[in-house]
Structure 1
Amino acid sequence: MRIFLFLFVIGFNSCMGYFYRVSPNEKIDYFTFSGNKRTYLVHYPKKWDGLPIPMLVALHGRFGTGVTMSKQTKLNDLSDQKGFIVLYPDGYKRSWADGRGSSPADEDGINDVVFIESIVKRMIAEGSVNPKEVYLVGHSNGGFMAQRMAIEKPDLWKGVMSVAAQISVSQLKSKLNFKTKPVSVAIMAGTEDPLVPFSGGYVKDGKEVISVSDSIQRWKEWNVCQDTVKHKSKQYDENGFKIVIDFYRYEDCFEDTKVELIQMNGLGHSWPGETPMLPFINQGRTTKVVDGSAMVWEFMESLK
């Protein structure tokens, strides 16, 4: 039964990619990296004058693709409204080498840190991207990859956000090998995530993560943040269920960086506002009334 579900999900996501029609303001590109053809989708805002603008790199979750990430998040609509480029890389065998050691990319020794860095530098060299306004967001496996990029390549990013992912134990240990340079980081996490426990512990693939609050504390320490926090809450009603989103932002940090926790009380693993791409996996409570993509870009815009 599990094999059937796995093949169904792969087939479903493959069909979504196969039938994707590239618009005039988009392109699908590739280059050979470590002997593998690596592809990515780029969405340019519709009203763009060709001058360098901000870029958001969006990393899909396990079993996803760049195309499914674009459909899942609807970041293209936000890109057209706000005027930034969205770049959706495709992971190796639908996975990212996030350093935990359990994904196909990790198992095959893929250096996704350098791969993602190469795409960013490629886009900057193209002349379309402002190198001082490059942002990163990732969901699930892509969210762990975003944490790895923030730890290992902080110079690349103006801001980084992980959705449904925090710092893994393996990432925390590897941090000792890298110099600390402040970078603005946010984590968006559901308190009832059944796949990546909010309070820390073992995720479904057997790898250990620290808690969301501990992850935020680590970034506060690395960014030399004061304890002064700006807290606000937003409330939503969805079919009688009350959703409370708590925002905890630390703004008094070294080099004007920020650290933020977006705590989605009662919600699960899915990207807020999405149609889940893995319908047969229990991801906890989902929501249609909370716009996760808008919250991602609100954080990035606050860094300007």
Structure 2
Amino acid sequence: MKPALQPARTWRAALCTALSLAALCAHAAQSTETYGGRSAVIYTPAKLPAAGQRALVVVLHGGLGNAQRIADGRSESALNIDAAADEAGFVVAYLSGTPVARMLSAERLGWNAGDCCGQPAENHVDDVAYIQSTAMAIAERYGVDRNRIYGLGHSNGAMMTQRMVCETTLYASAVSISGTLENGASTCPAARGKTLLALHGREDQNVPINGGKGSKGISRVAYASQASTAQVWKSSGAVYTLQIIEGADHAVDAIDAQIRKAEGQTLGQKVARFFGLLAR
């Protein structure tokens, strides 16, 4: 059964219409689509390779977030990599988790990345199966090469991204921001030969680099350290590169700001270059 589609008119489309530039802008689009009962926001730039040769980046929000908030720039705005997609020519899928806590709004979502993760973990939500099936459905619909699917996540979404690399072969490579591997695995056979980049703010007090409970964390969970996470990936035959971002805390926007300052590129550009989608 094909997913139900719910077209969403973006500011780009509105601007093109207002300025009578539809001929120039018609191929850049953002749509809200439903997969497995959850909404996802899909962005397709104006210029893409031929069908069958395209790449897809799957973006996972952090705890208390959702896909629409990223797409609209209301939270975790640096995770909105539409501009990098325009520059490099790849499809972006912003996915949504499930409600993270009973007492919070139904729009505050999270991922079952392990014992860390509130209601999704307590309810045994199978986010691994959801992300895999959704990414494959999007790949088929948008003409994506299934060997060119990549993962990007922040915080709880970073933990879920790492879990996907550990337990599936979906992603060719992945970028994890402010997160560690939290599924309890001591080895990840599916990850052999894969490459992961971890970006972590030096001042992170939500998910500390050295592990344990963060002074600003709301989950009250003792997280794995980056050192123990790196050891799991090393023992699995994966290449795990940790880059500590000086002057940044847990927030993805703070990490983006420091990357812009130190490297002269956006977080989106850095991610696209790591995936080999944008020239270095």
TM-score (norm 1): 0.70
Paired-residue identity, %? 22
> Cα gap change, 1:259/1:274 in structure 2, threshold over 3 Å: closer, same or farther?
closer
Deviations 1:31-71 (A, max 9, x none): 3x3xxx21100001112355230110000111111122232
Judge conservation of contact 1:30–1:39 (CA < 8 Å) in 2: yes
**Equivalent of residue 141 in structure 2, options 126, 130, 135:** 126
Equivalent residues in 2 for 1:24-173, closer than 5 Å: 25-31=29-35, 33=36, 37-48=37-48, 50-52=50-52, 53-70=54-71, 71=73, 72-73=77-78, 74-93=80-99, 94-153=109-168, 155-168=169-182, 171=183, 173=184
In the alignment, what sits opposite 2:102?
none
Deviates more, 1:83-92 or 1:199-208: 199-208
Describe the SS at the equivalent of 1:100: coil
| Cα distance in 1 for residues equivalent to 2:259 and 2:88 | 24
- The alpha carbon displacement at 1:273 in A equals 5.5
Unaligned stretches of 5+ residues in structure 2: 1-7, 14-27, 100-108
Equivalent residues in 2 for 1:1-304, closer than 5 Å: 23=13, 25-31=29-35, 33=36, 37-48=37-48, 50-52=50-52, 53-70=54-71, 71=73, 72-73=77-78, 74-93=80-99, 94-153=109-168, 155-168=169-182, 171=183, 173-175=184-186, 179-182=189-192, 183-203=194-214, 204=217, 205-223=219-237, 258-272=239-253, 289=261, 291-301=266-276
Describe the SS at the equivalent of 1:301: coil
Describe the SS at the equivalent of 2:31: strand
Deviations 1:194-246 (A, max 9, x none): 101011112421222222233223212211xxxxxxxxxxxxxxxxxxxxxxx
Deviations 1:64-98 (A, max 9, x none): 11122232123001100000111001111211111
Describe the SS at the equivalent of 1:113: helix
In the alignment, what sits opposite 1:235?
none
Judge conservation of contact 2:211–2:222 (CA < 8 Å) in 1: yes
| Cα distance in 2 for residues equivalent to 1:55 and 1:116 | 13
Judge conservation of contact 1:187–1:216 (CA < 8 Å) in 2: no
Judge conservation of contact 1:272–1:287 (CA < 8 Å) in 2: no
TM-score (norm 2): 0.75
> Cα gap change, 1:301/1:212 in structure 2, threshold over 3 Å: closer, same or farther?
same
Bigger share in strand: 1
| Cα distance in 2 for residues equivalent to 1:49 and 1:184 | 24
| Cα distance in 1 for residues equivalent to 2:179 and 2:10 | 28
Judge conservation of contact 2:31–2:42 (CA < 8 Å) in 1: yes
Judge conservation of contact 1:58–1:69 (CA < 8 Å) in 2: no
Judge conservation of contact 2:181–2:229 (CA < 8 Å) in 1: yes
Describe the SS at the equivalent of 1:58: strand
Deviates more, 1:93-102 or 1:54-63: 93-102
Q: What one-letter code is carried by the residue in structure 1 that aligns with 2:60?
A: L
Q: What one-letter code is carried by the residue in structure 2 that aligns with 1:198?
A: I
Matched positions, count: 236
| Cα distance in 2 for residues equivalent to 1:263 and 1:302 | 23
| Cα distance in 2 for residues equivalent to 1:21 and 1:109 | 37
